[in-house]
């Protein structure tokens, strides 16, 4: 139990798993398949979360604790879903309701209803409609923003960056009839400049990926999450529910992240879509 925060032994006291899901389906299109779990696996994972004694709390409770507000319960966890796949309404919501679990759904507004032919997701993608988003909001799911077109924000120039971050919030407020406050970076990527624009646009928190546990000491502008993928096996997931198997944020941005960003900036110029979609 004597693991050092940031180390890979574990479990670490105060480690908060913020699980990141995308699509939950049996027959995903190939572009999202590596980031899709089956409904059976998803239900099994929710069972593991509950059986492990984790307490799933709303994202806002984690953010409040990070800002020095009310402390989290022991062994807190958070559920998040990115992009806005239609299976959230059909498959995920009934399970969340059955288990009484709160969740945050980060929506790419340009993909709502499937979006246009040249939208952020490939034609034929089954995405939530505006009406379904209203239903989810009414059912108590927190709706958050995930830009309009799902770009890598840290390689965008200032104007388009402002528009992606600001317009998505205005569109969601228009659909839901109230402000939304939680933002997630597409692909998890941000930079100091991106985080500043997100704050200016009125968002009050922003989720990254980082493949790490969050904590009350983590940065609410780059909340660490653990991405659940098609190949996340049972042992790995169980380890996560024990607070082990990944580092605990905060930890400094690594050399790898900076080198990776330079590589991606090059790729972005080549307009290679969905290379690292998340």
Q: Which is nearer to Zn ion, 82 or 218 (CB)?
A: 82
Number of residues that bind Zn ion (CB under 5 A): 3
Burial bucket for residue 99 (CB in 10 Å: 0-12, 13-18, 19+): middle
Q: Which stretch binds Zn ion (CB under 5 A): 49-57, 128-136, 181-189, 238-246?
A: 181-189
Residue 152 to residue 123: CA distance in whole angstroms: 20
Task: Name which of 64 and 207 has its Cβ closer to Zn ion.
Answer: 207
Q: How far is CA 9 from the centre of its chain?
A: 25
Residue nearest to Zn ion as judged by C-beta position? 82
| Residue placing its CB nearer to Zn ion in the complex, 12 or 226 | 226
Q: Name the minimum Å distance from CB 184 to Zn ion.
A: 7
| Least distance in angstroms from the C-beta of 170 to Zn ion | 19
Shortest Å distance, C-beta 183 to Zn ion: 12
The residues, ordered by sequence, that sit 6+ positions from 272 with a Cβ below 8 Å of its Cβ are none
Site for Zn ion in 62-91 (CB under 5 A): 82-83
Q: Which of 90, 94, 185, 100 is nearest to 129 (CA)?
A: 90
Residue span 185-204 as binding mask against Zn ion, x where in contact by CB under 5 A, dash where not: -x------------------
Residues 36-65 binding Zn ion (CB under 5 A) are none
64 or 201: whose CB is closer to Zn ion? 201
Considering only residues 94-133, where is the footprint of Zn ion by CB under 5 A?
none
Token look-up 């009310």 returns: 70
203 vs 243 by CB, closer to Zn ion: 203
Q: How far is the CB of 148 from Zn ion (least distance, A)?
A: 12
What is the spatial distance between Cα 95 and Cα 41, in angstroms, rounded to a whole number?
12
Q: Which is nearer to Zn ion, 120 or 166 (CB)?
A: 120
Per-residue x/- track, 9-28, Zn ion (CB under 5 A): --------------------
By beta-carbon proximity to Zn ion, the closer residue of 88 and 243 is 88
Segment interacting with Zn ion, rule: CB under 5 A, options 71-79, 113-121, 128-136, 183-191:
183-191
**Least distance in angstroms from the C-beta of 245 to Zn ion:** 23
Closest CB to Zn ion among 49 and 278?
278
Q: How far is the CB of 270 from Zn ion (least distance, A)?
A: 20
CB of 107 to Zn ion, least distance (A): 10
Note the residues at the interface with Zn ion (CB under 5 A). Answer: 82-83, 186
């Amino acid at each position: 139990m004597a693991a050092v925060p940031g180390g890979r032994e574990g479990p670490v006291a105060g480690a908060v798993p913020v699980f990141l899901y995308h699509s939950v389906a049996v027959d995903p299109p190939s572009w999202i398949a590596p980031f899709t779990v089956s409904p059976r696996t998803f239900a099994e994972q929710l069972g593991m979360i509950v059986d492990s004694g984790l307490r799933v709390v709303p994202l806002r409770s984690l953010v409040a604790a990070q800002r020095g507000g009310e402390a989290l319960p022991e062994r807190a966890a958070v559920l998040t879903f990115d992009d806005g796949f239609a299976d959230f309404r059909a498959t995920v919501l009934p399970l969340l309701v059955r288990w009484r679990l709160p969740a945050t759904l980060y929506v790419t507004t340009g993909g709502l209803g499937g979006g246009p032919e040249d939208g952020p997701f490939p034609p034929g993608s089954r995405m939530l409609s505006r009406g379904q988003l209203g239903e989810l909001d009414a059912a108590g799911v927190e709706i958050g923003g995930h830009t309009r077109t799902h770009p890598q924000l840290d390689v965008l120039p200032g104007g388009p960056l402002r528009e992606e971050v600001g317009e998505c919030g205005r569109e969601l407020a228009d659909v839901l009839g109230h402000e939304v406050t939680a933002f997630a970076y597409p692909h998890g990527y941000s930079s100091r400049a991106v985080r500043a624009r997100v704050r200016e646009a009125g968002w009050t928190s922003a989720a990254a990926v980082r493949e790490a546990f969050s904590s009350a000491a983590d940065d609410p502008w780059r909340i660490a999450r653990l991405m659940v993928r098609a190949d996340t096996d049972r042992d790995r997931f169980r380890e996560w529910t024990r607070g082990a198997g990944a580092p605990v944020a905060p930890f400094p941005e690594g050399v790898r992240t900076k080198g990776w960003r330079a590589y991606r900036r090059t790729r972005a110029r080549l307009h290679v879509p969905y290379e690292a979609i998340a």
